[in-house]
Chains A and B, each alone.
Chain A
């Protein structure tokens, strides 16, 4: 069994070794990142200097876990800063934790340096709750590590060829950059963008981020906590920094599995105070709450414990001058009025109420400003009319209304758009270049995304799917066409407004643009081959979607007369099909208004044509009558005809018999169709009866009257 056992042990050793090696790499990376390029080389072999050992020693000593383990035997000096008191040489094994001893044994002649490095980090690795507990312990005014670093000063580059493991730390350092310090990514932020500031935006932080010089950990003496943190941080570190400020409050005991190595390292070195029931010497009392290693502000006890001191004078809300340049002048006026009316009462009662609520001001003023700053930044726009259409229009209308109320005699002048225009800053992206490298490195980032997956489109051979897809594609095609037309249409519609606002010189260009837009719109409705005929197919296609119908209804007023007529004809001709497609949407009635406008401008012959189209094929009229829009359209046509006849005695409507015949057939249909099948129109023009009276006898007229009235009532 013993060979087997040894085998097992070997295996585990292997695994653990690998695992450790990987972790080592990670750790080393963290190491570098945290302390700067090859900053503090804690992997010194023993005898290469006091630095590593003393460092290790201090840390080991500082850590009560280890200290606790070796407490009995250790003769050493009490934990504290300073190198002087430490004897050189490898730390006594008794000082090391169990795991470290194991490592030592396994590693054999592993350099002490490694050991030491592990000692810093490993201490906090995967021990489970118990071990982490001690790790999170010490609260000290100045962490020993910090003090060492402080004393030792800036790190020096390790001489080459020192590490036989090939782990030359300098290799890990990216070469000095020739262009931007940023690696093609958005600026490295100390904390992720979503985190509110914990303190007045620390100067040091910003300073460090924007300066490419290698910054190393400094521990300013005057602060209670080490504040600044190094510039180049690995994403992991960043994440942990982010996490730590967010973890306010005392740590629960079972924090082990959750923390990563870096966090534990941080915790080791941070000043944390909280009651610990674990083994080890009693802890120094903390300041309450966890303070992150990388220096946060003093914890906000002021907020939590007891009523906060009143912020300044009781009258907390004096009229604050906010920046209102971005607001519409009308809006600004309204706001100032509102403020004035409110200002008095607020001041009186504001102060004492605030002082009574123990939970108020959880958000500091800085945080509030930060959030509002973000909101306001989003509002900067170079084209407010485009970006904020409704706001602009609303205040314009309000202004107009007020002017009208105030002084109706005053001439209406068009209001100019006064909102400030923010200059568009062009951010050209230049990919990062490394000095001395051949060619350009492709670094994938937000500004420069790189294709990671090669997605190949494979067409499916399944017939059914093909058909379905065709239907989908067709629909998408239609929607696409509609969208394109819409953008043109919107420009055409806005032409007037823009025309008024542009200066004289640019007006011609605008007119030209407008013309071309309109032409484009028209041509989109035309047949492909016959350039001057409106394409039925196209129209029907567009109107098969809801958006399309809306589009046509908005478009009709802008089309030149012949085309508009043609479109209306097309609608009439294809009404049954349209009605069927509209069953779900029921929005054909949007077309009523524009169509009626068109109808009213028709000549008599066109009108007759239109009526004919409406009755075109066999049974079409019946379908038309079924549909609300159809009935309305019919009535519109008839009403228009009547108007023509009654107003103009020379009207050519009666010249040929077409009109009369058509009307006859309409009446026949109306009478024959059952009332239930007759759809109530949107409205019934009043002159229909007089129209019918010309053509039908009294009896039929009465019947018609009943029918029409009935349909009007049942609406």
Chain B
């Protein structure tokens, strides 16, 4: 509880409940869900059950949420064990906060289809761009990341 935010403080999040004031006197019955963003771009939401010192996570009743534009879809995945090095971000989901009404939930098939289309258009634009540049004899210079060693 008195730990600087990090893996140590995660300990308190396990099985924990949102610590907000009950608004209208009704007790919030939902558990605290966690959202994790992985290095490969996936977003998982579930109950955090266990961690270890490498921040490997055990998620329960996980749902993979795919966002495409304004739509999103949830794919239930069950139990997930995430290796700590693949985590980009991890955070609690605040159940008290109002759900974003802009986003519209769709079925799994639909969202997967949307995702596929998105990937496709992205690839096509990339291809066109490269072609255009090539025609003009230009090229995008590679970012020189070698300043650090």
Q: Which residues of A contact B (CB under 8 A)?
A: 194, 196, 320, 322-324, 327, 331-332, 335, 339, 342, 345-346, 349-350, 353-354, 356-357, 359-363, 367-368, 371-372, 374-376, 379, 391, 475-476, 479, 545-547, 583-585
- Which residues of A are found within 8 Å of B1, using beta-carbon distances? 320, 322, 335, 339
Query: Which residues of B (37-56) have their CB < 8 Å from a CB of A?
Result: 47, 49-54
**Does chain A have a CB within 8 A of B99?**
no
Known: A362-B50, A547-B147. A349 touches B22 (CB 8 A): yes
Judge whether A350 and B17 touch: CB under 8 Å: yes
- Main SS of the interface on chain B? loop
Judge whether B2 and A324 touch: CB under 8 Å: yes
Binds A, one of B26-34, B66-74, B107-115, B130-138: B26-34
- Which residues of A are found within 8 Å of B126, using beta-carbon distances? none
Per the bound structure, the CA–CA distance linking A331 and B3 in Å amounts to 10
**Does chain A have a CB within 8 A of B65?**
no
Given contacts A345-B20, A346-B19, A353-B29, 19 further A-B contacts (CB under 8 A): A194-B54, A320-B1, A327-B4, A332-B2, A335-B1, A339-B1, A345-B22, A349-B17, A350-B17, A353-B17, A354-B17, A357-B31, A362-B15, A362-B49, A363-B50, A372-B3, A375-B6, A375-B8, A583-B141
Name the residue among A353, A359, A547 with the largest chain B CB count within 10 angstroms.
A353
Per the bound structure, the CA–CA distance linking A479 and B149 in Å amounts to 8
Per the bound structure, the CA–CA distance linking A332 and B1 in Å amounts to 11
- Which residues of B are found within 8 Å of A585, using beta-carbon distances? 144
Per the bound structure, the CA–CA distance linking A609 and B147 in Å amounts to 33
**Does chain A have a CB within 8 A of B75?**
no
Judge whether B15 and A327 touch: CB under 8 Å: no
- Main SS of the interface on chain A? helix
- Which residues of B are found within 8 Å of A335, using beta-carbon distances? 1-2
**Does chain A have a CB within 8 A of B14?**
yes
- Which residues of B are found within 8 Å of A194, using beta-carbon distances? 52-54
Per the bound structure, the CA–CA distance linking A545 and B144 in Å amounts to 10
Per the bound structure, the CA–CA distance linking A577 and B19 in Å amounts to 60
Judge whether A368 and B11 touch: CB under 8 Å: yes
Q: Which residues of B contact A (CB under 8 A)?
A: 1-4, 6-8, 11, 14-15, 17, 19-22, 27-29, 31, 47, 49-54, 58, 60, 141, 143-144, 146-149
A and B contact pairs by CB, cutoff 8 A, 26 listed: A194-B52, A194-B54, A323-B2, A327-B4, A331-B4, A335-B1, A345-B20, A346-B19, A349-B22, A349-B28, A353-B17, A353-B29, A354-B15, A357-B15, A362-B49, A363-B14, A363-B50, A367-B50, A371-B11, A371-B52, A375-B8, A479-B147, A479-B149, A546-B144, A546-B147, A584-B144
Question: CB within 8 A of B3: which of A342, A359, A375?
Answer: A375
Per the bound structure, the CA–CA distance linking A479 and B147 in Å amounts to 7
Per the bound structure, the CA–CA distance linking A584 and B8 in Å amounts to 41
Judge whether B2 and A545 touch: CB under 8 Å: no
Judge whether B146 and A475 touch: CB under 8 Å: yes
Please name the 7 residue pairs, one residue from A and one from B, whose CB atoms are nearest each other, closest first.
Answer: A375-B8, A360-B15, A374-B53, A322-B2, A362-B49, A372-B8, A363-B50
Per the bound structure, the CA–CA distance linking A365 and B78 in Å amounts to 25
Q: Of all chain A residues, which has the CB nearest B61?
A: A359
Q: Tell me the smallest distance from the CB of B140 to a CB of chain A, in Å.
A: 11
- Which residues of A are found within 8 Å of B54, using beta-carbon distances? 194
Per the bound structure, the CA–CA distance linking A479 and B144 in Å amounts to 13
Judge whether B21 and A345 touch: CB under 8 Å: yes
- Which residues of B are found within 8 Å of A371, using beta-carbon distances? 7-8, 11, 51-53
Q: Of all chain B residues, which has the CB nearest A352?
A: B27
Per the bound structure, the CA–CA distance linking A584 and B1 in Å amounts to 47
Question: CB within 8 A of A391: which of B4, B15, B143, B148?
Answer: B4
- Which residues of B are found within 8 Å of A475, using beta-carbon distances? 146
- Which residues of B are found within 8 Å of A196, using beta-carbon distances? 52
Q: Tell me the smallest distance from the CB of A358 to a CB of chain B, in Å.
A: 10
- Which residues of B are found within 8 Å of A479, using beta-carbon distances? 147, 149
- Which residues of B are found within 8 Å of A345, using beta-carbon distances? 19-22
Per the bound structure, the CA–CA distance linking A194 and B11 in Å amounts to 17
Per the bound structure, the CA–CA distance linking A331 and B9 in Å amounts to 14
Q: Tell me the smallest distance from the CB of A541 to a CB of chain B, in Å.
A: 14
Per the bound structure, the CA–CA distance linking A444 and B8 in Å amounts to 34
Q: Tell me the smallest distance from the CB of A583 to a CB of chain B, in Å.
A: 8
Name the residue among B7, B15, B28, B58 with the largest chain A CB count within 10 angstroms.
B15
Q: Tell me the smallest distance from the CB of A380 to a CB of chain B, in Å.
A: 13
Known: A359-B49, A359-B60, A585-B144. A376 touches B8 (CB 8 A): yes
Per the bound structure, the CA–CA distance linking A134 and B58 in Å amounts to 34
Q: Tell me the smallest distance from the CB of A318 to a CB of chain B, in Å.
A: 11
Per the bound structure, the CA–CA distance linking A472 and B64 in Å amounts to 45
Judge whether A342 and B19 touch: CB under 8 Å: yes
Per the bound structure, the CA–CA distance linking A363 and B7 in Å amounts to 15
Judge whether A349 and B27 touch: CB under 8 Å: yes
Question: CB within 8 A of B58: which of A342, A356, A362, A374?
Answer: A362
- Which residues of B are found within 8 Å of A354, using beta-carbon distances? 15, 17
Q: Tell me the smallest distance from the CB of B20 to a CB of chain A, in Å.
A: 7
Q: Tell me the smallest distance from the CB of A392 to a CB of chain B, in Å.
A: 12
- Which residues of B are found within 8 Å of A327, using beta-carbon distances? 2, 4
Q: Tell me the smallest distance from the CB of B29 to a CB of chain A, in Å.
A: 7
Per the bound structure, the CA–CA distance linking A376 and B2 in Å amounts to 11
- Which residues of A are found within 8 Å of B15, using beta-carbon distances? 354, 357, 359-362
Q: Tell me the smallest distance from the CB of A473 to a CB of chain B, in Å.
A: 13
Judge whether B11 and A372 touch: CB under 8 Å: yes
- Which residues of B are found within 8 Å of A323, using beta-carbon distances? 2
Judge whether A375 and B53 touch: CB under 8 Å: yes
